[in-house]
Amino acid sequence: MIRIPSHIKELKPYVAGKTIAEVVKEYKPERISKLASNENRLGCSPKANEAALESLGAIMNYPDPACLDLRAKIADKIGVKPENVIAGSGSEGVMQLIIKTFFEPDEHAITASATFIGFVVLINSRGVGLRQVPMTDDYRFDLEAIADAISPKTKMVYLANPNNPTGTYFTKAEFERFMKRVPDDVLVIMDEAYYEFAAGLDDYPNSVEYGFDNVITLRTFSKAYGLAGYRIGYGVAHPDIISTLMKVKLPFEPGLPAQHAAIGALDDDNFLYLTEVMVEKGRNRLYRFLDEHGVTYVKSASNSVMTVFDTEEEAVHFTDEMLKKGVILRRLPAFGLPNCVRITVGLDEEMEHFEQAFEELFSKA
């Protein structure tokens, strides 16, 4: 028998939300609203799909391993140089690469207790130690406590801003104070998967603009750009960090259609604008509805809103019953929040479906 390392044996894999096909098979609801995975309910830019389709003429060839065109396009868009950028199979692909590349024996990572589960799974699969610092009472990263937890064996700190699943963010002042306390040999991953939804807030720190040598910013095309199925994201950092990662990266990732779709998406500011409008409108509608129905929730700077129930049983009942009515939501026990449920903000008709299902459920109760 092949011996499996104990950290892999004990690994709890990432469990995604239910797929539409699974829900159709199980409950046969009249309609489905998939509000579980923070995808873009508006779809994606037609320019992205057109560019991907065009690239298929060359699909027999390996793509450019250095992703030069895409890196140049991203660099131009965000005001850095191409050598500051690396592209990967989703931002999680870049995250995996970072975790694979930098750890030495006995070093560990630090993050918060209720953050993106993908990071936790990747760290555990690498067999690296992880310290998770409790969030504040209002579900925010406690940056002071995280800075306190840094020791000479800390290699990496992971911060998601805005955070998933809470939707909360930390401010410029908090980030600046934190960075003053972080030794420059500790790598800070700033996961900005939801950057586009928060960028308009006055006190939101765009980590790229600071140019810290020990920060790598991760962004994705999966959320605001609606390209989750292509698997494409990127990292922005000092050229030495990027060139180190390039040595370890799988040469031909991301795939050709993904690289082209991302280039096409970057040419469509209007789609991004429409997405931001949809999310803001949907979020406000959801807040109003939850207020009217006495449901506790956490204000969000992202495309999802986290609701908080008194007990895990209530959260389970709510999610299961909504699922039977075709509304797919995300419970959060894997994120350490068993009494919470995350709702992705969707189109008007999806928000209406959510409201209708909610009212049917609670009028029965």
Q: Which residues bind ligand PLP (CB under 6 A)?
A: 38, 90-92, 116, 118, 160, 164, 191, 193, 220, 222, 228, 233
Kindly state the smallest distance separating residue 304's Cβ from ligand PLP, in Å. Answer: 9
Q: Position 325: which residue type? A: K
**Looking at beta carbons only, is 52 or 228 nearer to ligand PLP?**
228
**Looking at beta carbons only, is 189 or 323 nearer to ligand PLP?**
189
CA-angle at 234, arms to 140 and 54, nearest 5°: 135
Kindly state the smallest distance separating residue 167's Cβ from ligand PLP, in Å. Answer: 10
Give dist(CA 126, CA 140) in Å, integer. Answer: 27
Give dist(CA 203, CA 3) in Å, integer. Answer: 51
**Looking at beta carbons only, is 164 or 168 nearer to ligand PLP?**
164
Burial of 279 (0-12, 13-18, 19+ CB in 10 A): buried
Sheet strands side by side (includes 304-308): 296-298, 304-308, 337-344, 330-332
**Looking at beta carbons only, is 121 or 357 nearer to ligand PLP?**
121
Closest of 116, 266, 298 to residue 189, by C-alpha = 116
Residue 130: strand pairing partners: 109
Kindly state the smallest distance separating residue 113's Cβ from ligand PLP, in Å. Answer: 15
Kindly state the smallest distance separating residue 196's Cβ from ligand PLP, in Å. Answer: 13
Kindly state the smallest distance separating residue 348's Cβ from ligand PLP, in Å. Answer: 23
Kindly state the smallest distance separating residue 268's Cβ from ligand PLP, in Å. Answer: 18
Burial of 303 (0-12, 13-18, 19+ CB in 10 A): buried
Report which residue's Cβ sits closest to ligand PLP.
Answer: 90
**Looking at beta carbons only, is 222 or 319 nearer to ligand PLP?**
222
Give dist(CA 138, CA 81) in Å, integer. Answer: 37
3 state SS of 337 = strand
Kindly state the smallest distance separating residue 15's Cβ from ligand PLP, in Å. Answer: 13
3 state SS of 37 = coil
Give dist(CA 147, CA 179) in Å, integer. Answer: 9
Give dist(CA 179, CA 359) in Å, integer. Answer: 46
**Looking at beta carbons only, is 233 or 282 nearer to ligand PLP?**
233
Give dist(CA 346, CA 35) in Å, integer. Answer: 7
**Looking at beta carbons only, is 109 or 193 nearer to ligand PLP?**
193
Residue 188: strand pairing partners: 157, 215
**Looking at beta carbons only, is 133 or 160 nearer to ligand PLP?**
160
**Looking at beta carbons only, is 96 or 307 nearer to ligand PLP?**
96
**Kind of pairing between the strands at 154-160 and 187-191:** parallel
Kindly state the smallest distance separating residue 231's Cβ from ligand PLP, in Å. Answer: 7
Kindly state the smallest distance separating residue 254's Cβ from ligand PLP, in Å. Answer: 10
The DSSP call for residue 135 is: P
